Amino acid sequence: PLPPKFGVETPRLAELSDLFDSGLDQWGVDIFLVDELACHKPLCAVVYAIFEKRDFFNKFHIHPSVLVNYFSQVEQHYKQENPYHNAIHAADVTQSTHVLLNAPSIANVFTELEILASIFACAIHDVNHPGVTNQFLINTAMYFVTYPNLIPMNVESELAIMYNDMSVLENHHCAVAFKLLQEPSSNLFASLDDIQRRQLRKMVIDMVLATDMSKHMSLLADLKTMVETKKVSGGCLLKLDNYSEKMQIMQNMVHCADLSNPAKPLPLSTHWVTRVMEEFFNQGDREKALGLPVSPMCCRETANVEKSQVSFIDFIVHPLWEAWTELVHPDAEHILNTLEQNRDHYCELSAAKEAESVK
């Protein structure tokens, strides 16, 4: 028996279907509307729709009910109490990568298995995120050593102990996702052969671990080198023969999607800013309560939201999207333009706020 369409029981199925028909392949689809129409199961709905659009059910002999069983589990393991790192963010990054993969200049670069691995990696890339940063987990891990009499205030600080402070969150997301795959009713990759399953697992781990922001600078450096060599080799990308070069592209693609909020239509971008700041401020509140130094941009009283966004865009997001836009030239021009327009908007807001405060 087939599960409900898109794997979600919703009275607004027709509207969801129409939104996917017009928006699934579009940069800037309203993912918050998807969340509403899909009765707050946006990840299940988006993954189901992408699998259908890319004919993955047939290509990889996956029964829709197995997909729904697995991604319902994954969705439940995203903490919906997180203002930012929740299933909507996972659905957003997954749909964004689906669009990036459609760029004409990288058509035929990736195999179907590489595309499956990329979509899967995005869907699970932040699963069970605790709503705090790696730094917070590392700082609190030693807390119990310092104050052993404190009851374990949260299971999260066990994570840094578990992963020895190395890409703590990203290791956790991968482990949880693959653990959930062991459930017999969720055996998504049962019909792949052993080689394919091993290749997919390695690719997913490589992509998810690359979403650790501390890897950003080295990832971007690799991307720039690739763009330089691509220029030299007459603009074709097809010389991606070895795994490492192909994986660099896939890692940067997922990283771009993960940092795509400022490059989306302004109403979506500002909605994400509100959510991420709320999550950072919650962390700042906890750091204050614990007597820990408050992380950058996490202090509710002193943070300058607009200014932080301008810096985030200027130092992290724009350099990354500039390199990606060059790699897939001219397919991502409109995305870079939106990013630059949004940056100017935050800049004007920041200046207006500045002018207000000195009156």
Ligand X SMILES: COc1ccc(-c2ccn(C[C@@H](O)CN3CCOCC3)n2)cc1OC1CCCC1
Site for Zn ion in 231-270 (CB under 5 A): 258
Question: Six-digit token pair at 202?
Answer: 């390695």
| Helix H or strand E segment including 96 | helix 87-101
Residue environment code for 298-336, b if the CB has 16+ CB neighbours within 10 A, otherwise e: bbeeebebbbbbbebbeebbbbbbbbbbbbbeebbeebb
For residues 127 and 177, is the Cβ–Cβ distance under 8 A? yes
Contact between 43 and ligand X by CB under 6 A: the answer reads no
CA dihedral 209, 214, 220, 223 (to 10 degrees): -20
Contact between 338 and ligand X by CB under 6 A: the answer reads no
Tell me which of 133, 140, 325, 338 binds ligand X, using CB under 6 A. 133
Partner whose footprint covers residue 73, from Zn ion, ligand X, none (CB < 5 to 8 Å by kind): none
Contact between 309 and ligand X by CB under 6 A: the answer reads yes
Considering beta carbons, is residue 185 or 337 the nearer one to ligand X?
337
**What length does the chain have?**
359
The single residue listed with the structure tokens 């890897």 is: 215
Contact between 213 and ligand X by CB under 6 A: the answer reads yes
For residues 114 and 203, is the Cβ–Cβ distance under 8 A? yes
Contact between 297 and ligand X by CB under 6 A: the answer reads yes
85 is catalytic: yes
For residues 280 and 295, is the Cβ–Cβ distance under 8 A? yes
Tell me, what DSSP letter sits at residue 102?
A: T
Contact between 312 and ligand X by CB under 6 A: the answer reads yes
> Min. distance of Cβ 93 from Zn ion in angstroms?
6
Per-residue contact flags (x/-) with Zn ion for residues 101 to 130, judged by CB under 5 A: -------------------------x----
Contact between 4 and ligand X by CB under 6 A: the answer reads no
- State the Cα–Cα distance between residues 313 and 310, nearest whole angstrom: 5
> Min. distance of Cβ 196 from ligand X in angstroms?
31
Tell me which of 282, 308, 342, 350 binds ligand X, using CB under 6 A. 308
Partner whose footprint covers residue 126, from Zn ion, ligand X, none (CB < 5 to 8 Å by kind): Zn ion
Residue among 40, 61, 63, 85 flagged as catalytic: 85
Contact between 296 and ligand X by CB under 6 A: the answer reads yes
Site for ligand X in 264-293 (CB under 6 A): 272-273, 276, 280
- State the Cα–Cα distance between residues 275 and 278, nearest whole angstrom: 5
Contact between 92 and Zn ion by CB under 5 A: the answer reads no
Of 336, 338, 332, the closest CA to residue 100 belongs to 332
Query: What residues make contact with ligand X under the rule CB under 6 A?
Result: 133, 213, 261-262, 272-273, 276, 280, 295-297, 308-309, 312
What residues act catalytically? 85
The contact set with Zn ion (CB under 5 A) reads: 126, 258
